[in-house]
C-alpha cells in the first residue's frame, strides 16, 4: 500500500508540474517511449507501457492536437501506423523531461544515494528481474 501511495503522490506531483504544457504523466511516458525509440506504433506504446490500446489512442489524439507527435502510415505496410515526435514536440519534450526530473530530484534528493540504489534492487527483485 505504501508503495502505491508513494507512486500516486509522485505521479500527481509530475502531473501538476506538466499542467502548463497540457501533458500528463501517461502522455510523458508515451513521449519517452517514442523519443527513446522503444516504441514506434500505438500498439508498441501500449505494450511497452502495459496500458490498453484505446487509452493510447486517446492520449495520442491529444498529443497530436497539441503538435507533440505525428502519426503516419508505414511506407512498407500501410496497415501500420507509425508515431514520431514533431519538431516542436522534440523541443517541448526536453522541457517536459526537465520538469519531471526536477520533481523527482526534489523527492529523491532526501534519500541517500546508496538507499536509492538499494530501493532499485529491491523493486527489481519484486518485479522478478534478476540482473540489475
Share of the chain above pLDDT 90, in %: 69
Would you place residue 112 in the very low, low, confident or very high pLDDT band (cuts 50, 70, 90)? confident
CA separation for the pair 8, 65 (Å, rounded): 27
- Residue 96 domain-assigned? yes
Q: What is the pLDDT of residues 3-30, one digit of tens each?
A: 889 889 999 999 999 999 999 999 999 9
Task: Please count the structural domains in the chain.
Answer: 1
- Residue 75 domain-assigned? yes
CA separation for the pair 44, 90 (Å, rounded): 19
**Residue 76 DSSP code:** S
- Residue 72 domain-assigned? yes
Measure the CA dihedral 62/68/73/77, to 10°.
-110
Q: What CATH number is associated with residue 57?
A: 1.10.10.10
Residue 80 or 27, more confident: 27
- Residue 90 domain-assigned? yes
- Residue 132 domain-assigned? no
Measure the CA dihedral 50/56/59/61, to 10°.
170
Range of the domain at 108: 2-127
Residues for the chain: how many in total?
132
Residue-averaged pLDDT of the chain: 92
Amino acid at each position: 500500500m505504501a508503495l502505491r501511495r508513494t507512486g500516486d503522490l509522485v505521479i500527481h506531483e509530475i502531473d501538476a508540474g506538466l499542467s502548463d504544457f497540457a501533458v500528463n504523466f501517461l502522455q510523458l511516458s508515451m513521449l519517452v517511449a517514442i523519443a527513446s525509440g522503444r516504441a514506434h506504433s500505438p500498439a508498441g506504446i501500449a505494450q511497452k507501457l502495459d496500458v490498453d490500446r484505446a487509452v493510447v489512442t486517446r492520449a495520442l489524439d491529444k498529443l497530436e492536437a497539441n503538435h507533440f507527435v505525428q502519426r503516419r502510415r508505414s511506407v512498407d505496410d500501410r496497415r501500420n501506423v507509425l508515431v514520431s515526435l514533431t519538431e516542436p514536440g522534440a523541443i517541448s519534450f526536453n522541457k517536459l523531461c526537465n520538469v519531471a526530473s526536477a520533481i523527482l530530484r526534489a523527492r529523491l534528493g532526501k534519500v541517500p544515494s546508496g538507499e536509492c540504489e538499494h530501493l532499485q534492487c529491491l523493486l527489481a527483485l519484486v518485479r522478478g528481474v534478476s540482473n540489475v
